[in-house]
Amino acid sequence: MTSALNVAPHHERVSLLSPSSGYENYRGFLNLIYVILGIGGCRLVIENILQYGLLIDFNWPIKFLKDPTHWPSVFLIVLVNFFILFEFWLELRLSKIHILKSRITTTCIFLQFINLIVILIFPAIYVYYRQPNPVGAFFAIFIYTIVLLKLFSYLHINYQCRQALFQRKNDSRRNSNASKGRIVYPGNLTYKNLYYFMFAPTLCYELNFTHSLRIRKGFILRRCMEILVLASLQYCLGQQWILPILRTIDRPLNQYSTLENIERLLRLALPNHLLWLIFFYVYFHSILNLLAELLYFGDRYFYLDWWNATDLSEFWNRWNTIVHHFCKRHIYKPLVIHYGFNKFIGSLVVFLISAFFHEYLISVPLRMLRPWSFLAMIVQVPIGIVVKRISLENKTYGNLAVWISLILIQPIAILLYIQDLFYRDFVKDKIYT
């Protein structure tokens, strides 16, 4: 009893919230943030409904089926098979040519690149003249872009296989590979192999993909439920939260005061970023994992921890590893290794191509050639330099700077597109009528 009383109640210690304490368990504060966000979200939902009423159109799927103007996008998607099969026919022709460099070989390779160029141009012309619904047009253009990149990888790898085949002199080695059950060129040139790649969640072609052992029914059910629930949530949030903000734009942005533009930007930033986060999860996790499971596709590394990125270059390398691997394999490495360009030029070319396709995916469905999405990508170069310097000083501040740039850049581009759409669809009509 006496010894217990003699124990000193105090000794040198630091408070838990001090940086030197080494304490890192802030789970309770994280739960508090969840509660605050939940309460704030409920308040915003109630306030939005009280102000605008219920704006969600639940009959959209029925309207889509009844309105034939939505269908051209479906027809456009079906037509993409023509380009896929034409590329397959050219590869079959090339596989039967026993001379590496010949006139027929050159002609077929030339037609392959013409095919890729037409894949890029044809849907733009189709959308411009048929004028389908922009949402349906976006999905069609998105699919054409994916097919373009996949076919580029397909012809690139098959070209390398042809070169290796002509250079290989040891036929016994080739036969031993085939005996192990692995596909070797030209045994990969089948409809099944090509269309497996077209549906597989990757842009990089391989003759032999890594496969999983079985299909998990519970996994498929969870992914389907995620897609259904989160896609519906996206649709509801877009109609109920974002459209009312965009509809307040009734004149060019330069006719509003600076404070009005800033207020509208900040009001749009939160719901837009929320939709972007939902899109990331639905597409990169739910949809791609669903495809991979159905196709026994083994490589599920579709994204890295981009949310921990401390500069913008880290973010772009992590958030979409499918595109990152394609660019590194088919653009960056050939430029740097085979053609002798320095790494800066290789990275710049990759970034410019990425910026082009971002603009292509927006401008073509809207039938409106504008540079806003392209510039939103380009402006990230100087911003990235600043964020990189911040990250060198403090990685936490670097991560915060990445989040701020992601939240604010997209709404600026959206407001500029909406302004141009308003001018095209309303102001011009009033002028000419």
Q: Could you give the count of Cα atoms lying within 13 Å of 173 in the half-sphere of its Cβ? A: 6
* Cα gap 153→303, rounded to integer Å: 20
Give yes or no: 358 in active site: yes
* Cα gap 47→303, rounded to integer Å: 36
Query: What tokens were used for 24?
Result: 């890192």
Measured CA distances, 326 to 295, 333, 337 (Å): 20, 10, 16
Cα torsion 352, 358, 359, 363 to 10°: value is: 160
Query: What tokens were used for 367?
Result: 């039938």
Q: Could you give the count of Cα atoms lying within 13 Å of 408 in the half-sphere of its Cβ? A: 13
Q: Are 199 and 146 in contact (CB under 8 A)?
A: no
Q: Are 231 and 318 in contact (CB under 8 A)?
A: no
Residue 101, number of CB atoms within 10 A of its CB: 8
Burial of 361 (0-12, 13-18, 19+ CB in 10 A): middle
* Cα gap 107→18, rounded to integer Å: 70
The residue behind tokens 């000083």 is 393
What are the beta bridge partners of residue 211? 297
Burial of 286 (0-12, 13-18, 19+ CB in 10 A): buried
Closest CA to 356 of 98, 165, 148, 77: 148
Q: From the candidates 70, 156, 285, 358, which is the catalytic residue?
A: 358
> Annotated catalytic sites, by residue?
358
